[in-house]
Homo-oligomer: A and B are copies of this chain.
Amino acid sequence: MERSIEPGFGSTGTTEQPLYISVIGGGMCSAEEYAMAEETGRLIGESGAVLVCGGMSGVMEAAARGAKETGGTTLGILPGHDRSLGNPYLDLVVTTGVGHARNLAVVSTGDAVIAIGGAYGTLSEIGLAAKVGRPVVILKGWRVQNEEGTAGIWYASDPREAFSLVREALRPGPTP
């Protein structure tokens, strides 16, 4: 059985599954955020991880674009039923039809989540990600505080640090 997909990608039972990393953020974003998301996508793509996003414009598009620039694999998860609304940098597009509840699928599908800017949709994704045990690294945008602490959420000041925190958080053993 020939696999046309690169070694390590896909599932053969003998090769390792790739990591999945979700990048979340606004459908509209600043030039700075777009650049950050694109660089984050590049780091993810280079690493061989699958880039997951909400499939739309802004940060989601930039991250997918960056991942494709490095030959990475990209997956977009849309709220509605129309695949053509996905941005042009997605290898595969899922149309969930569940509206904002697709935010749950976006973060659940990643092994970890990187947040870049964004408004309330992104805030909901940070909460949902942490709720289902996905480590979250916030690169820019939200700051959240709770008396009980915010275990599982980290802050980074640039894409490289964000990616490095994600790798550490996913390493077996004690988290950073």
Contact = CB atoms under 8 A, between A and B. Distances in A.
Interface string A1-40: 1111110011111000100100000000000000000000
A171 interface: no
Interface residues of A, number: 72
Interface in A83-103: 83-84, 86-101, 103
Interface in A107-162: 108-109, 119-128, 130-133, 141-148, 152
B120 A130 contact: yes
9 contacts: A1-B6, A4-B6, A10-B74, A11-B88, A92-B92, A96-B108, A99-B99, A124-B125, A125-B127
